[in-house]
Amino acid sequence: MMGRFLMLITAFVAVLGGGTFAGVHIISAVERQSTTTTYSMKVGSVTRQYEVIAPTATLSKSAPIVVVLGGADSTTSNEIARDEFLPAVNDDKAELVYPVEIDKSWNAIGCCDGAAKENVNDVGFIEALVPKIDPGHTRPVYVIGYSNGGRLAYRLACTDPTLFDGTVALKADPMPGCVVTKPQNILVFSSLNDKFVPYKPGEKGEESPPATVQIARLQADLKCSSKPTVAKHGTMSLSTWSCAGGKTLEWALYQTGGHDIPDPDGSTPGALPLILSFIATTTPAPVSG
């Protein structure tokens, strides 16, 4: 066995120890090029598709593969435009994989929309996809789930906790009964004014539990330290807990932004630099070598 550590030095993230994300530089697609390829695979009797966006340059063996699970009622192209993660590819730092939804939704087991009604095996799809995109699990693989996609990301963290090296849940709640049972790296994004995911008990929202309740559950389930370190970045606060097995729980709480993926606003960073920092500083699981 040998350790496998991600070496990700990125121009997106300034010095975290100084409590700032100033100096962010996003390299445009004109400066760096990427390729998009659509693949098909069989999952049971169903043919599923996924898109891979990779730099034209050869990536290092330590560069991460990031699986992105978009929100409901959105096409893959819409999701790519909405999440704005492409700079990570254009800077030759990561490879993005966008699995394609059925009926513009994911079946997170109990939610949501057409995929749940049709009992689509989305858990099986993602479990079969990961070894396809990373044979032998030789590279770090992370999952980012937004809204409905975040529910599926939580479901995978609960049912298959070693599938990914880390999970990012953007403006999402797990379905009832989804309990994280093994230490893993998790980054959660929340907003005080999210109309779907309430911030604390007693506030209006269409989903449950409130963000504060879910964070407390994760803190207990992951056996984290009692108190986090907290850093302010503009109007966002980033809380970080050290958890069992050397894992990390992070919570990015925004004052505004509603149910949207966070965009940068002055001294307040958007989602991308925080995600890149999370990937760069968390330790992937060891693999045989």
**pLDDT tens figures, 189-242:** 999 999 999 999 999 888 899 999 999 999 999 999 999 999 999 999 999 999
Q: What is the CA radius of gyration of the chain?
A: 18
Segment 10-16 mean pLDDT:
35
In a domain, 241, yes or no: yes
More confident residue, 27 or 186: 186
pLDDT bin (cut points 50, 70, 90) of residue 5 is very low
Percent of the chain scored above 90 by pLDDT? 66
Quote the pTM value.
Answer: 0.87
Task: List the CATH number of the domain containing 144.
Answer: 3.40.50.1820
Domain span including residue 94: 34-281
- Please count the other Cβ atoms lying within 10 Å of the Cβ belonging to residue 260: 17
Query: For residue 29, is pLDDT > 60?
Result: no
In a domain, 150, yes or no: yes
In a domain, 4, yes or no: no
- Percent helix, strand, coil in the chain, to 5, is 25, 25, 50
In a domain, 265, yes or no: yes
**Do the strands 65-69 and 46-55 form a parallel or antiparallel pair, or are they unpaired?**
unpaired
Query: For residue 6, is pLDDT > 60?
Result: no
CA distances for 181 relative to 48, 56, 218, 286, angstroms: 29, 39, 10, 19
Cis peptide bond upstream of 209, omega within 30: yes
| Distance separating alpha carbons of residues 144 and 148, to the nearest angstrom | 11
In a domain, 219, yes or no: yes
In a domain, 13, yes or no: no
pLDDT bin (cut points 50, 70, 90) of residue 32 is low
Question: Whole-number mean pLDDT of the chain?
Answer: 86
Residues in the chain, overall count:
289
Spatial contact of 156 and 123, defined as CB atoms under 8 Å apart: yes
Tens digits of residue pLDDT in 135-185: 998 999 999 999 999 999 999 999 999 999 999 999 999 999 999 989 999
More confident residue, 266 or 30: 266
In a domain, 28, yes or no: no
End-to-end CA distance of the chain: 6
As for how many domains the chain has, the answer is 1
In a domain, 24, yes or no: no
